[in-house]
Structures are given as C-alpha cells and as structure tokens.
Chains A and B, each alone.
Chain A
Amino acid sequence: MHSFGYRANALFTFAVTILGFMCALASFTDSFNSPSPSVQVQVLKVNWFQKQPNGNDEVSMTLNISADLQSLFTWNTKQVFVFLAAEYVTPKHVLNQISLWDAIIQEKENAKFTITTSNKYRFIDQGSNLRGKEFNLTLHWHVMPKTGKMLADKVVLPGYRLPAEYR
C-alpha cells in the first residue's frame, strides 16, 4: 500500500494535475486583458494590374502598414501572428479573402511598427472581376499563448478601390 512505486505514482499524478491547473489558470488570466490596437493602411501604388493567360485578374500593389499592437501582449503571450487580407465580394463569390502580407511578432517592443512593402502573397482573383472593384483591407491578428486558448481579432478598413483599367 505504501510502497515506493505507489508513492511515486501519487506524487507524479498530483504534480501533473497541479501543472494542468496552473496552465488553465494562466490561459484564463488572458481574458482580463482588453486590448486597444490601432491600425492604418495606405495603398501607395498599384505596381501592375493585368489579366493572366488563364483568365484570372492579378494585381500587385505597394502598401504602407502602420500598427500598434503592444496592448495585445500579456505574460502568457508567446507570439502574435498578424496579417493583412484583402476582402471583396464578386457576383460569383460571396467571399474572397486574400492574405497580402503577414508577420510574426514575438517581442512586445516590436509590436509597434510601420512598414512599406509590396504584397508578399499574390493577389489573384478566381475569375476576372478586379477592375474597379471595391475592397476592404483587414488587419487580422492571432495571439498564440504560451499555453491554453488561442485568441483572434481584426480591424476592418473599408473603402479601397482598384483601378478601372489594367496597367
């Protein structure tokens, strides 16, 4: 009944239970954080805009993104994955969501940034609907915790428009 094995087992089980409980608690403390991030995005230039041989529209643009995501960080934050997506509706598609740029932020100090970049991923439509198309740019972020529940939110910036002609 009180052998070494029995006691080792009891101690191990207790330790794992406490560890699991602490992890759950650490994840729970994240819910007390109410972040207030700020985001601005500008389309500086449309580099080129054309129809691919297979009939899909593709556009390349230069973006200026500035954001302050420092308030997302808590003691249980391992990293923040941030990405900018173009979102628009076409007659055939009720939703098109295209990631244009993303970054991984691991330090709170780096969470306030301004960056000028052309789109990292190709902006290609499923079809030929991009001329004169109005679209939203949405900055999404996914907070990855050291342990526990993952959190996500976004800021939608409406009112961007693509040129009416290819260039």
Chain B
Amino acid sequence: MGWVSDTVDSIKSIKVREVLHQLIVLGMIVTTALIIWKGLMCITGTESPVVVVLSGSMEPGFQRGDILFLTMSKDPIRSGDIVVFNIDGRDIPIVHRVIKVHEREDTEDKYYLTKGDNNPMDDRVLYNHGQNWLEKKHIMGRAVGFVPYAGWATIIMSEKPIIKYVLVGALGLLVLTTKE
C-alpha cells in the first residue's frame, strides 16, 4: 500500500511548473519520433518505410512478427524482388515476391505478377476479380532488409488493444510522477 499512497502523494504535490515541464518533455519525445518517421519517408521514398509481416505466406524467409525495411527507389522492379503492394479497395498491404514482369514500350506500362514463397499458387486468386496483373500504382515499396521478431509488440498491441491502453496509461503516469 506504500506505493499507492506514495503515488497519490506525488500526484498531489505536482506543481504547475513541473507539469508544464513534463508536458514539454513528452512533446519532445512524440515530435522526435514523428521527425524520424517522416525523415525515413523522405529518404526511402515510400509512405511506409517499415512494415510488420502479418502472415506466414513468405515462410521460411519471413515469419509473422518480423519487420521489413522498404525503399521505393528509381531502380526498376524485377522478378525475384520482394514487394509490398496494396490491392484497390483493401486496407492491408501484402508482402510477396514478383515472379513475372512485362514492360510495354509504347505506353511504358509495367505489369507484375506476385506469389508468396509459401503459397502453392500465384496471387491472381488474391487480386480483385478480373485483375491479372499488378501495376506500378499498386506497389508501395520493395523490401531491402529485415530484422526478426522486432514487430511482435505491434502485432500484440493491434490485436489486444487493452494492452495498448494499459501501456500508454502506465507510461503517462510514469512521466507525470517522475521527479528530475
């Protein structure tokens, strides 16, 4: 019970000046994270420089919970590249490997067909009805590097939101009650 009364005491003893200071520190942390994220977006040229693998369709290469670093450089996409793409009308991006490429000369249109390493069939079953090819506009980026397991925290937090709120609450309390 000592811990609780200590906490209550420390909340009672908060002074305006200290609260302001803590808020500024908190703001600094949030803005730093934002700057890093936006900075990465500028360097890599993709709107999501880091993605978490959500399915086992690329096993044994990538497992659920691994994180991938993406770029969207001028280099053309070739078969064998692992790309992240978005099908029109669906929210969740997919990480799969390109197995076929056709590039038109006159219109400069590019057509890609993808497949998950662990799937028996190519991705035409995943595409929208009547869609045979991915085009440039569907591609969000190309995977260039990866770190295992590092995305598990994200998966847990998005699937069990209660853990996220508890964590944010605890951190908030910690920031407010910590003394310099």
Contacts and interface: CB of A to CB of B under 8 A. Distances in A.
Interface residues of A, number: 32
B146 A147 contact: yes
B104 A150 contact: no
Contacts, number: 78
A121 B120 CA distance: 11
A102 B122 CA distance: 13
Nearest to A6: B178
B63 to A, nearest CB: 10
A7 interface: no
B80 A93 contact: no
B117 A104 contact: yes
Contact of B60 (A93, A97, A104, A121): A104
Given A78-B60, A147-B146, A149-B144, A94 B103 contact: yes
A96 B145 contact: no
Contacts of A146: 148
B126 interface: no
A94 B60 CA distance: 34
B131 to A, nearest CB: 15
A93 B105 contact: yes
B101 interface: yes
Nearest to A123: B100
B102 interface: yes
A130 interface: no
A81 interface: yes
Given A92-B105, A121-B122, A150-B143, A79 B79 contact: no
A85 interface: yes
Contact of B111 (A79, A126, A152): A126
A145 B66 CA distance: 12
Given A85-B80, A147-B148, A95 B103 contact: yes
A99 interface: yes
A140 B78 CA distance: 11
A83 interface: yes
Choose among B60, B79, B105 the residue with the greatest number of A CB atoms under 10 Å from its CB.
Answer: B79
Interface in A75-97: 78-79, 81, 83, 85, 91-97
B102 A104 contact: no
Interface in A125-167: 126, 140, 142, 144-150, 152
Given A93-B103, A104-B117, A126-B102, A140 B79 contact: yes
Interface in B78-116: 78-80, 82, 97, 99-106, 111
Nearest to B110: A95
Given A83-B80, A121-B99, A140-B79, A78 B145 contact: no
Contacts of B61: 78-79, 81, 104, 144
Interface in A51-93: 78-79, 81, 83, 85, 91-93
Contact of B104 (A93, A106, A148): A93
B19 interface: no
B60 A106 contact: yes
* For the complex of A and B, 5 pairs with smallest distance between CB atoms: A99-B99, A97-B101, A95-B103, A97-B79, A140-B80
